Amino acid sequence: MPAALVTGSSRGIGRGIAFCLADVGYDILVNYAGNRVAAEETAGGIRERGRKVRICQGDITRIEDGKRLVDTTLTAFGRLDMLVNNAGIAPRVRADILEATPESYAEVMDTNLKGPYFLTQYAANHMIALKEQGKIQAPRIVVITSISAYTASTARGEYCVSKAGLSMMTRLFAVRLAEHGIPVNEIQPGIIQTDMTGPVKKKYDALIADGLTPIRRWGQPEDIGKAVAAIGLGYFDFTTGAAIPVDGGFHMHRL
């Protein structure tokens, strides 16, 4: 059965992705940075779906940890059919761009961009080799970005820059890996109800009710998971380098 590595899959969007991929037949490597209890909960849900699961702690900012995630997936399942770059953080403090600190910028960029960049590089080289050996047939890579990749939010500029960088990263790997038959696509979540958005729930409750998104509800982690599962099923294998919005229509310009 195919196997997927989903970074940051102990909770939130990552958990929703892991569950949806398990629903369509993937074994899952659950990655977490610090919350082992949450990772165990995700693993339990995957087992309930009848799939194999392995848990692996890893800090995506550490290049060696990223390599270990890939190596653990290969050891556990003998293959790596899908990489989902999901792990990410928001700034610890929402600071005006005129006051943001180099420390916050470095932390966000290391987690959201540098880590996925080199993890994708390492995983892609293994996918190429596995495909050439006939051990996998249709490897795929997905990058979870955000509407913040193109929406300016001056109170968290480092986050927006990191997500915009991931968009370009997606296209770079899509071009490079096309000759190897490895599509690389981007999912752009909108306003998704997770613990990360919990502190601003009241603000966005009101904005959504006022029509911020044509579909007037919060997105759920499974909304993102379903999109990733569709890619995992091969429904987008003639698509690469695409940015797929899952945002309730937020991306549409309206008058």
Percent of the chain whose pLDDT exceeds 90: 96
pLDDT at 103: 97
Helix (H, G, I), strand (E, B) or coil at 248: coil
Band (6; pLDDT cuts 50, 70, 90): very high
pLDDT at 200: 84
Whether pLDDT at 196 is above 90:
no
Band (80; pLDDT cuts 50, 70, 90): very high
For the chain, how big is the Rg over CA atoms in Å? Answer: 17
pLDDT at 7: 98
| 32 given a catalytic annotation | no
Provide mean pLDDT across the span 217-239: 98
Choosing from 122, 150, 159, 235, the catalytic residue is 159
pLDDT at 208: 95
Whether pLDDT at 17 is above 90:
yes
pLDDT at 198: 77
CA-wise closest residue to 8 among 22, 26, 29, 23: 29
Whether pLDDT at 23 is above 80:
yes
Instruction: Say if CB 183 and CB 131 are below 8 A apart.
Output: no
Whether pLDDT at 195 is above 90:
no
Percent of the chain whose pLDDT exceeds 70: 100
Provide mean pLDDT across the span 204-210: 94
Whether pLDDT at 243 is above 90:
yes
CA distance 69 to 53: 13
Output the average pLDDT for the chain: 97
Any bridge partners for residue 245, and if so which? 188
pLDDT tens for 27-78 read 999 999 999 999 999 999 999 999 999 999 999 999 999 999 999 999 999 9
Domains of the chain, earliest start first: 3-246 (3.40.50.720)
Provide mean pLDDT across the span 216-226: 97
Helix spans in the chain (H): 12-23, 36-48, 63-77, 102-109, 115-132, 157-177, 201-209, 221-232
Per-position DSSP letters for 28-72, written without gaps between them: EEEEESS-HHHHHHHHHHHHHTT--EEEEE--TTSHHHHHHHHHH
Whether pLDDT at 3 is above 80:
yes
pLDDT at 128: 98
pLDDT at 255: 86
pLDDT at 143: 98
pLDDT at 240: 98
